[in-house]
Amino acid sequence: MKTVFIRESTDRSLPDASLFDLSEAQFHPCIGCWSCWWKTPGVCIHKDLEDFYRDYVNAGKVVFWAKPQQGFISSQMKSLFDRMIPLFLPYTTFRNGGTYHRPRYPRYPDIEFYYDYDFQDDEDYQIFHAYVYKVFEQFHARRIKIAPVSDFEKEGVV
Partner 1 sequence: MKTIILNGSPKGNVEKCGSYLLAQAFAKKMSTPCEIRSIIKENRLDLIESIQHADNIILIAPNYIHSVPAQTLDFLLALPPATGNQTLGFIIQSGYPESSESEIICRYLNRLGERLGYTVSGSIAKGECAGLAIVPERFKKLLDEFSAFGALFEQTRQFDRQLVEKFAKPVRLSKPLMWLLNALTPLSDVLGWNRIMKSNQAYEKRLDTPYLGPAQVKTMNG
Least distance between partner 1 and beta carbon 89 (Å): 7
Residue 10 vs 92, nearer CB to partner 1: 92
By CB under 8 A, the residues from 36 to 55 that bind partner 1 are 37-43, 50, 53-54
By CB under 8 A, the residues from 128 to 157 that bind partner 1 are 130-131, 134-135, 138
Residue 7 vs 104, nearer CB to partner 1: 104
H/E/C letters for each residue in the chain?
CCEEEEECCCCCCCCCCCEEECCCCCCCCCCCCCHHHHCCCCCCCCCCCHHHHHHHHCCCEEEEEECCECCECCHHHHHHHHCCHHHEEEEEEEECCEEEEEECCCCCCEEEEEECCCCCCHHHHHHHHHHHHHHHHHCCCCCEEEEEHHHHHHHCCC
Residue 21 vs 137, nearer CB to partner 1: 137
Alpha carbons 69 and 120: distance in angstroms, whole number: 12
Alpha carbons 48 and 39: distance in angstroms, whole number: 18
Least distance between partner 1 and beta carbon 32 (Å): 5
By CB under 8 A, the residues from 112 to 131 that bind partner 1 are 123-124, 127, 130-131
| Residue of 17, 24, 95, 122 interacting with partner 1 (CB under 8 A) | 95
Check binding of 18 to partner 1 (CB under 8 A): no
What is the contact surface with partner 1 in residues (CB under 8 A)? 1, 29-32, 37-43, 50, 53-54, 56-58, 69-72, 74-76, 78-79, 81-82, 84-85, 87, 89-95, 97-99, 104-107, 123-124, 127, 130-131, 134-135, 138
